[in-house]
């Protein structure tokens, strides 16, 4: 809305006056963003810096954006070992964000293509989350203590538990992957005894747009985050590639 305290503070994604698009329009049709034109308030459209392509600038949204905001909340820095569960486009973007901040990265992923890509982007280790000893393997990489920070990008209950169980005492967790299922958390042993801090994170504060642009402009890994570029006319093919999981971020060119 641009007027509530959260919008004014830059936390527009949590706007107190978000409206129900389907209720407003009478149909959910048109609420997506795979189109040539979108209607947005001008204050939500900061200019793209000179020299940054539309393809690269788009990564500031659902590629780099979710973990950038989460890492801000958790104050991720070069002293941290960070666990990222799920190496889809958002998780792979998380590797780039974490490496840009100088953090050490461990990834939990099982799909072969994404395991390979995670390693190429700089993950020190990639653990199969389907292994029964996944948490033990992660802890073995941290002298048995656990990771300093963990972020789930997969949106699965199993990954939530891996993050909780792999975090060290007084560690921080952030969940950015959408999940509608119930995650079992034992408040005493999981949260109070361990002293964990759990962050629900959706996006970054609008004031941080210049900083995420710096990641895009200066990270040597940015080109590797885009695996496919399709014209909008081949959107069905793009969806099929996405469903195969043999991809990182897929870009659609709206005027082709």
Q: How far apart are CA 177 and CA 159, in angstroms?
A: 10
Q: Are 59 and 226 in contact (CB under 8 A)?
A: yes
Exposed / middle / buried, residue 212 (Cβ in 10 Å: 0-12, 13-18, 19+): buried
Alpha carbon 178 to its chain's center: 10
Q: What is the mean pLDDT of the chain?
A: 95
Q: pLDDT of 155-170, one tens digit each?
A: 999 999 999 999 999 9
- Cβ within 8 Å of residue 133, ≥6 positions away: none
Instruction: Supply 64's token pair.
Output: 């780099």
Q: pLDDT of 181-236, one tens digit each?
A: 999 999 999 999 999 999 999 999 999 999 999 999 999 999 999 999 999 999 99
What confidence score (pLDDT) does residue 22 get?
Answer: 78
Q: Which residue has the tokens 């099929």?
A: 240
Is pTM, for the whole model, over 0.85?
Answer: yes
> For residue 40, is pLDDT > 90?
no
Q: How far apart are CA 20 and CA 85, in angstroms?
A: 31
Q: Are 91 and 154 in contact (CB under 8 A)?
A: yes
DSSP-assigned beta bridge partners for residue 107: 84, 126
Q: How far apart are CA 61 and CA 225, in angstroms?
A: 13
Q: How do 197-200 and 167-175 pair as beta strands? A: parallel
What confidence score (pLDDT) does residue 24 get?
Answer: 76
> For residue 27, is pLDDT > 90?
no
What confidence score (pLDDT) does residue 235 get?
Answer: 96
Alpha carbon 219 to its chain's center: 17
- The DSSP code sequence of the chain is ---SHHHHTT-GGG-TT---HHHHHSSSTT-SS-SS-----GGG-PPPPTT--HHHHGGGTTTTHHHHHHHHHHT--TT-EEEEE--SHHHHHHHHHHHHTT-EEEEE---HHHHHHHHHTT-SEEE-TTSTTHHHHHHHTTTTS-EEEEEE-S--HHHHHHHHHHEEEEEEEEE-S---SPPP--IIIIIITTT-EEEE--S--GGGHHHHHHHHHH-TTHHHHEEEEEEGGGHHHHHHHHHHT--SEEEEETT-
How close are the terminal C-alpha atoms of the chain, in Å? 33
Q: Give residue limits of the domains in the chain.
A: 61-200
What confidence score (pLDDT) does residue 38 get?
Answer: 83
**Across 97-112, average pLDDT:** 99
Q: How far apart are CA 121 and CA 78, in angstroms?
A: 17
Q: Are 217 and 52 in contact (CB under 8 A)?
A: yes
Phi, psi (deg, nearest 5) at residue 105:
-120, 130
What confidence score (pLDDT) does residue 75 get?
Answer: 98
| Percent with pLDDT over 90 in the chain | 89
CATH superfamily ID and name for 61-200: NAD(P)-binding Rossmann-like Domain (3.40.50.720)
């Amino acid at each position: 809305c641009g007027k509530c305290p959260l919008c004014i503070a830059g936390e527009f994604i949590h706007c107190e006056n978000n409206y129900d698009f389907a209720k407003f329009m009478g149909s959910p049709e048109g609420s997506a963003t795979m189109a040539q034109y979108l209607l947005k308030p001008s204050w939500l459209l900061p200019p793209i810096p000179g020299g940054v392509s539309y393809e690269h600038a788009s990564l500031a949204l659902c590629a780099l954006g979710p973990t950038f905001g989460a890492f801000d909340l958790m104050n991720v820095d070069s002293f941290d070992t960070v666990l990222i569960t799920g190496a889809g486009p958002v998780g792979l973007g998380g590797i780039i964000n974490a490496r840009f901040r100088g953090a050490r990265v461990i990834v939990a992923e099982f799909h072969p293509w994404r395991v390979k890509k995670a390693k190429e982007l700089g993950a020190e280790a990639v653990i199969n989350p389907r292994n029964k000893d996944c948490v033990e393997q992660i802890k073995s990489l941290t002298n048995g203590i656990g990771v300093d920070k963990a972020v789930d990008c997969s949106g699965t209950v199993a990954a939530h538990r891996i993050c909780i169980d792999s975090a060290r005492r007084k560690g921080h967790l952030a969940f950015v992957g959408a999940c509608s299922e119930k995650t079992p958390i034992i408040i005493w042993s999981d949260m109070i005894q361990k002293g964990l801090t759990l962050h629900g994170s959706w996006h970054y504060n609008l004031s941080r747009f210049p900083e995420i642009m710096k990641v895009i402009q200066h990270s040597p890994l940015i080109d590797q985050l885009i695996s496919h570029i399709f014209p909008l006319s081949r959107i069905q093919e793009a969806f099929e590639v996405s469903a195969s999981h043999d991809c990182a971020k897929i870009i659609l060119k709206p005027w082709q």
